[in-house]
Amino acid sequence: MKIMIVGAWSWPQYEEAFANGLCEHGVEVVALPTTPSFKCLLGHLQYTLPLPGPALFRLNHKVISEAVQHRPEFILFWRSTHIIPSTLINLQGMGIRSVSYNNDDPFGPKSHGYAPWHHHLLWYWYLKCLPWFDRNFFYRRINCAEAIAHGAQHADVLMPYFMPWKDRPVSLTKAEHDRYNTDMVFVGHYEPDGREHSIRALMAAGIQTKIWGGHYWSRAVLGDLYDRLAPIVLVEGDDYAKALCGAKVCLCFLSKLNRDTYTRRCFEIPACGRVMMAERTDDLLRLFKEDKEACFFSSNEELVKKTQWLLANPEIRKRIADAGLRRVWADGHDVMNRTRSFINGIEKLV
């Protein structure tokens, strides 16, 4: 089987990791990055807002020409925001099946309105293309029903995953321990959903807390806490696992922007052999046994109380972490198992 993956190819956990998983199953993968089509100032504008223009048409022409050259059985469009319906129609005429996957929530801006302004236009072409894709996969269940209502022929869930070569228990050197050691850590981005108040509640209770996540965690967001937490920088590659493994407990917030009921960190944290403390949802309660394989909270008061319990009981903390690690492997939440499910889902089209 040969699959072309059309996407940004900018972050290792997305197209690159999925391609590695597919290759493990004997699939030949052809990469087609979209970003080279959007160079120069006008191109950057069209990348942010998918307006008809030279960059958008250049990308769609590139897809067709690469398809003619490589003749894949399938083209996987990853978070496809700049592909137009005529491209999919041309691929159908060539006998090539088109598949979409979206790790974001394309219906969120219309559903709740809480989204960056450009997201209200970002999904225009994606939604136009939904009825033309042969298969559509989504990060979250709620989008499946919305896609069918929007005219999609097919919609199914493809949950996030952890990468075993990156998300794993690691031992820290003394220098790494000095850098990453903490009671509680959050590794991730900022959203204006109140998560800064959770950080404040932990620190007010005397719980040593660190954040790794980049410039969005600004002084304007954190106020007087900023100087105690700075510098707040991204950790990537091997440093991601080190930041998790340096903490006794790992915090997991869920994106309200994407209406998440689980997220990638829900599998990455246990895969690193650490205790996950996540916002409580029905989906997470189905995935993990509470206080046996992971811990959950529904208020800042509960977050503080549970964290204090875990810090005071290292044996319980280790037992939960070990059980969580076993759970994510036993239930197949790694990228190889996810790609196997994906292959099973598209093989019916052959």
Q: Hey, what's the torsion of the CAs at 337, 340, 341, 344, to 10 degrees?
A: -160
**What residues contact 65, with CB distance under 8 A and at least 6 apart?**
none
Short-list 116, 158, 118, CA closest to 135 = 158
For residues 297 and 308, what is the distance between their CA atoms, to the nearest angstrom? 13
What's residue 115's pLDDT?
73
What's residue 350's pLDDT?
60
Residue 41 pLDDT more than 90?
no
Worst-scoring range by mean pLDDT, 48-57, 94-103, 114-123, 218-227?
114-123
Q: What is the mean pLDDT of residues 255-282?
A: 97
Exposure of 94 by Cβ count < 10 A (0-12 exposed, 13-18 middle, 19+ buried)? exposed
- Beta bridge partners, 106, equal none
Residue 349 pLDDT more than 80?
no
**What residues contact 113, with CB distance under 8 A and at least 6 apart?**
none
Short-list 277, 332, 343, CA closest to 162 = 332
**What residues contact 307, with CB distance under 8 A and at least 6 apart?**
183, 184, 202, 205, 207, 249, 277
- Beta bridge partners, 295, equal 277
- pLDDT tens, residue by residue, 108-157: 888 777 777 778 889 999 999 999 999 999 999 999 999 999 999 999 99
What's residue 184's pLDDT?
98
Strand positions, DSSP E, the chain: 2-7, 28-33, 74-78, 97-102, 135-138, 156-157, 182-187, 209-212, 247-252, 275-279, 295-297
Q: What is the CATH number of domain 174-330?
A: 3.40.50.2000
Per-domain residue ranges for the chain? 2-161+335-347, 174-330
Q: What is the mean pLDDT of residues 297-307?
A: 98
Q: Which fold has domain 2-161+335-347?
A: Rossmann fold (3.40.50)
For residues 142 and 12, what is the distance between their CA atoms, to the nearest angstrom? 26
Peptide bond into 109 cis (omega under 30): no
Q: Give 36-57 as a DSSP string.
A: GGG-HHHHHHHHHS--SSHHHH
| Cα-based angle 240, 243, 249 (whole degrees, multiple of 5) | 125
Q: What proportion of the chain, given as a percentage, has pLDDT over 70?
A: 100
Q: What is the mean pLDDT of the chain?
A: 95
